[in-house]
Amino acid sequence: MRQLDIILFGGSGDLATRKLIPALAHIMQNSDLLDHSRLLIAAQDVRDDQEFRTAFAARIAPHLSETTPEQLDRLMRRMDVMSLDLRAEDAWRSLSDWLSPANDRDIIYYFAVPSFLFASLCRKIRQHNLNPPQSRIVVEKPLGEDLTSAAEINGVISETFAETQIFRIDHYLGKTALQNILPLRIQNPGLEALWHADSIDNIQITLTETVGVEGRTELLDRIGTLKDMVQNHMLQTVALLTMDLPQNLTASQIRRGKIEVLQSLRPITEDSILSNMVIGQYRAGTLGGQTVSGYQEEISASAGTGEMFVALRIFIDTDRWAGVPVYLRTGKRLRQRCGEIVITFKPRSASPDANERPRRLMIEIHPDQNILSDLPLTLHNPLAEGENTRIQDAYEKLLQDVIQNDQTFFVHWDEIEASWRWIDQISHARQKVNVPMQSYAPGTNGPISSHLLPRQDGKYWYSNRVDKE
């Protein structure tokens, strides 16, 4: 096995300490993928090495489930620490020395830093010839705030790394339930035979949170939930769910299928936005027995304009999904933390019995991961295969894929381009049409008017967790 060096830029930040380092610790504990590896924490706040290590270990420890002190110590022994000032040539020469000779090992650069730093990092890596063909780069969302800024960032990255070296991470694609959507369809031919507009009445995707902005006030007020959640997590879920089955589950074929869906989304324009979109902000109230501030109280500088809730009614203009409404909703300070897909099938007869319950397939994404069905089919549930084993964190799964150079559950630039193009059309429509910002109480399912989206089609929201029939 080749030697591997992992460099975490922003390695002392919240993402690294809560998610990345614990994920690497679990990979080291449960596999041999990191047996010949080194880890470098590159951060600006390093003064004393030992003092940094002690504080770093204390910050990581609460996030290490099922990891013993001995295993944590093993990881810390593999870890080097470097103070890296982007502007300091001495620091980059030190990084070059640490990696030397760069051509003799695999290299993973993880950019756990704001996207405005991507350009400087890529230029320095290229300038110092630290981007050999076997190097890879992992970048976090959000990749830009619209198509123009995303293209600029991608252009800079692509000057240093080829598309085959770029791993654009969306941690939702690491969730077990989403990774098993295609296996579910493949392993159940009877279900796949129903996976089209002739049999499916509507699709609903719910991603809700009980938390508020949690220190991301400035960013979220600027971009809103549409760009923070819909552009990536929700559209990736839509694409993975509705793509045509590929001939095989290779990265290139899965990505191609998702791109076709994203490019087929019907535009939401100024003529259609009011019947296809509801937005809102939470007000002050109580949630889980605790008093919580309203969004406007959390915006101290000025009146907040970002939507913290969004519901959409969308259509995919392909033969497979012609006329099938897809309802999306996501927001903060809602009743429960829930991620769920609900597919409602059409009645079995043209004149259904009034008492006939709708037939549904429900895919629970979180907090549980399960598949529930009312269909008269015996389904092979791929999620049940590992039900007695530890559920891997999404970052753990995706980092394993990066280490093994597998891009299957990472996002191709063409997917990002298509999703931003569609989101930008909505943003442009909002500039011309006043979409009312609805107020909603914390601990509810969002603005009451969000129920009008499915109701105009004679349907209603349904979630196994947050709604009741």
Q: Is 428 a catalytic residue?
A: no
3-state secondary structure of 271: coil
Distance CA 357, CA 400 (A): 42
Q: Distances from the Cα of 361 to the Cαs of 23, 242, 288, 306, 364, in angstroms?
A: 31, 14, 29, 33, 10
CA dihedral 155, 156, 161, 163 (to 10 degrees): -20
Buried b (16+ CB within 10 A) or exposed e, 30-54: eeebbeebbbbbbbeebeeeeebee
Give pLDDT, residue 385.
65
pLDDT in tens, 232-289: 999 999 999 999 999 999 999 999 999 999 999 999 999 999 999 999 999 999 998 9
CB 263 within 8 A of CB 422: no
Mean pLDDT, the chain, rounded, equals 90
**Paired residues of 106 in beta bridges:** 4
Select which of 26, 171, 233, 412 is catalytic. 233
pLDDT above 90 covers a percentage of the chain that reads 65
Distance CA 420, CA 104 (A): 38
pLDDT in tens, 141-166: 878 999 999 999 999 999 999 999 99
Q: Write the DSSP assignment of 311-357 as a string of letters.
A: EEEE-B-STTTTT--EEEEEESSBSS-EEEEEEEEPPSSSS--TTPP
Helical H segments across 161-270, by residue range: 176-179, 181-187, 189-192, 217-225, 235-242, 251-262
**Structural domains in the chain, sorted by start:** 4-140 (3.40.50.720), 173-393+412-455 (3.30.360.10)
How do beta strands 200-208 and 338-345 pair?
Answer: antiparallel
Distance CA 409, CA 249 (A): 11
pLDDT in tens, 365-405: 988 888 999 888 888 888 776 555 667 889 999 999 999 99
Residue 350 scores a pLDDT above 70: no
User: Nearest to residue 361, comparing CAs of 205, 175, 179?
Assistant: 205
